[in-house]
Structure 1
Amino acid sequence: MIDAVPFFFALGAVASLLKSGLRLPAAVFETLSIYLLLAIGLKGGVEIARAENVALWRDAGLAMGLGAVIPLFVFPLFRLRFGRADAASLAAHYGSVSIVTFAVGAAVLAGRGVEVEGHLALLAALMEAPALIVATLLARLGQRSSDGSSATAALVHEVLANKSVLLLGGGILIGWAAGPEGAAPLAPLFVDLFKGALCLFLLEMGLVAAERLPDLRRAGLFLIGCALSLPPVLALGGWGVAQAMDLGLGGTVLMMTLAGSASYIAAPTAMRIAVPEANPALGVAAALAVTFPFNLVLGIPLYLWWAQRMAG
């Protein structure tokens, strides 16, 4: 069975390349973003309340550690071609995670009847901030700034008050507090309609990704090669962490998906404040125009195949 979800992204990309003028209204796109983040958080919170996972804090520490280590791994690679600021910004994009890629992976697994541990949504939320902090430290290493304290405060506020972190974390707390019975009346909205809303969101993301292709061409083949090769390499790190967490098949695939994804929402916003001298087009073009479609079309099926093979 072929999952229809990625085809909506392809449709948006083709529509943009053909200059069809297709576009979702900004208010609709914003509403879909809010809806998807809340839906993911609610589902995760309900599953946490149902499972009462005693290993939750261990898994949270491992996930945050992975988010902090990835920038340290990819920064020297990007430093081969780019300056310190741009390399650190790119490291932030690939160390942070894409919640939309996570949502697509969850939808694919649900379509195949593969169960997923409920606290994966919480781990996704926790993996946002460490990479942004480490990347900022890499950018500022050896530098002195008279307004460093104010810049640091602004970054902390941007990370914690970021829309994706706030909505995802808030949804988790609501789902956990309400529990399975309290959240049951919300299922027709936040469960039954989730996949359809995700398809519309991906349609718009395909339009946006195609518009970033000129930035990608200017960046050169080096960045394109990194954007294609890093996801499966980083996903192997996610697989190793999933083994330490003792996750099942579904949780392993989603942890690999998170590790192999790249942020194009939280990271650009945070880097604009923390590393304003970096070129924002590099990270967004690589993450959105290359890594995101790669994961949708090839990455997630590859991670599922690998996890199944390693599970015997």
Structure 2
Amino acid sequence: MDFLPELASTLLAQMQKPTLAFLIGGMLLAAMSSRLDLPEPVYKLVVMLLLLKVGMSAGISVREAELVALAVPGALAVIAGISIVLLGRMTLVRLRGVSEMDGMATAGLFGAVSASTLAAGMAMLDDVGIAYEGFIGALYPFMDVAALLTAIIMARMAAERRAARGDVAQGGVVAIVGGSGGGQGPIMDWGMIRSILMDTIRSPAISALLLGLGLGLFARPDSVFEGFYEPLFRGLLSILMLMMGFEAWNRLGELRRVAHVYVFYGLFAPLVHGLIGLGMGLIAHELTGFSLGGVVLMAVMAASSSDISGPPTLRGALPEANPSSYIATSTGLGTPVAILSIPLWIALAEAFIGG
């Protein structure tokens, strides 16, 4: 019975940390119809600097990491991203009022990773003195790309099956991209997969993260990292959290245009997904000694939904999907819930592993 009071105490303490305070403050300002605004170029610069910092930190740590210590969490991150999308396919997509294309786009966005939420998790762990692997940022692309690829491929294959059924019903001959007709099911279009993969890698978030990772791994950016990026990290993150809170509140209005089940999904999916990530982190802990902080950040990544790399990738790959469904659900509800739930993952990880 001591667990619940300790959990409540941890949650309350974390709610008072600057990261969550700025997020909540932004939501309050938006609720009061404040005209506070951050120019788009400045917002993009803040995000790029944060991702370069996370990437360089990961690259510097990867240089010294053992292959198994990195490979096991990386594989589990891939499994987590794919599992989240498959769970969305079995739940959200089957609910009334949700089209298969919109549902898969939403599941893909929730399976992908939010750079801002990951950065917030790192800052909160630093605040309480919980250590984590420096290479944790290198796990971001594993989960992100796996989820987006899975969602887009499944959505496109479903669209091909519907088109095939329509052609058959009209007496036409079915021709499926990358496969053959004659009633055969759709097979994997490797050209499409390669295109999706390249679009994802070229997205601003993944590009900045991979650049930082490469610099940290193959160059020696330690001096500029410690003299510029590290001191700016918390200040830049506070600005980002403020604006994310502001945008989250404004996006809530868009949810009125789509099925109410998206509201339910946006509120509860991050918690379920975080438990999946927590479980993967605990497996890595048992297999490789993955740290408590690493377990927390695995849960944070799984609970988050992509706010930078995912939306443009999905808009390009699934133009039929309604952005008001997947972007509004993610930004309006998923991101705030994911960030506010970080204290929960800290408390649960400490309960399973011990602080």
TM-score (norm 2): 0.82
Q: 2:275 aligns with which of 226, 236, 240?
A: 236
Distance 1:110 1:189 in 2: 18
2:346 pairs with 1:304: yes
SS of 1:50's equivalent?
Answer: coil
Provide the secondary structure at the position in 2 that maps to 1:119: helix
Q: % of aligned pairs identical?
A: 30
Secondary structure at 1:55 match in 2: helix
Give per-residue Cα distances to partners, 1:197-236, cap 9 Å, x unaligned. Answer: 0011111212221221111233343211111111121112
For residues 168-218 of structure 1, what are the alpha-carbon distances to aligned partners after superposition, in whole Å with 9 as ceiling and x for unaligned? 111112112235xx4134312111110000011111212221221111233
| Residues 90-129 of structure 1: pairs in structure 2 closer than 5 A | 90-129=106-145
Match of 1:41 in 2: 55
1:239-254 equivalence runs, <5 A: 239-246=278-285, 247-254=290-297
Aligned-pair distance for 1:159? 0.9
In structure 2, distance between residues paired with 1:235 and 1:146: 36
- Tell me the equivalent position of 1:19: 33
Shift of 1:153: 4.9
Deviates further, 249-258 or 217-226: 217-226
Aligned residue number for residue 231 of structure 2: 192
**What SS does the aligned partner of 1:24 have?**
coil
Alignment partner of 2:91: what SS?
Answer: helix
Question: Bigger radius of gyration, 1 or 2?
Answer: 2
The one-letter amino acid of 1:262's match is S
* Residues in 2 aligned to 1:127 and 1:249: alpha-carbon distance in whole angstroms: 19
**How big is the alpha-carbon RMSD for the aligned residues of Structure 1 and Structure 2?**
1.9
Q: TM-score, normalised by structure 1?
A: 0.92
Task: Tell me, in whole angstroms, the C-alpha distance in 2 between the residues paired with 1:9 and 1:89.
Answer: 25
The unaligned stretches of length 5 or more in structure 1 are none
Instruction: Give how far 1:146 is off.
Output: 5.6
Maintained 8 Å contact 2:55/2:211? yes
Secondary structure at 2:133 match in 1: coil
Cα distance in 2 for partners of 1:153, 1:239 equals 30
Which residue type is aligned with residue 106 of structure 2?
L
8 A Cα contact 2:255 2:263, kept in partner: yes
Q: Secondary structure at the match of 1:127?
A: helix
Q: Tell me the equivalent position of 1:66.
A: 80
For this pair of structures, how many residues does the alignment match?
309
1:41-94 residue CA offsets vs partner (Å, 9 max, x unmatched): 111111222344543223222211221221011112111131110111011011
| Mapped partners of 2:77, 2:133: distance in 1 | 14
Larger deviation: 46-55 or 218-227?
Answer: 46-55
- Answer yes or no: is the 8 Å Cα contact 1:39–1:191 preserved in 2: yes
Gaps of 5+ in 2: 1-12, 164-175, 179-188
Aligned to 2:8: none
Instruction: Choose the corresponding residue for 2:105, options 80, 86, 89.
Output: 89
Cα distance in 2 for partners of 1:114, 1:188 equals: 23
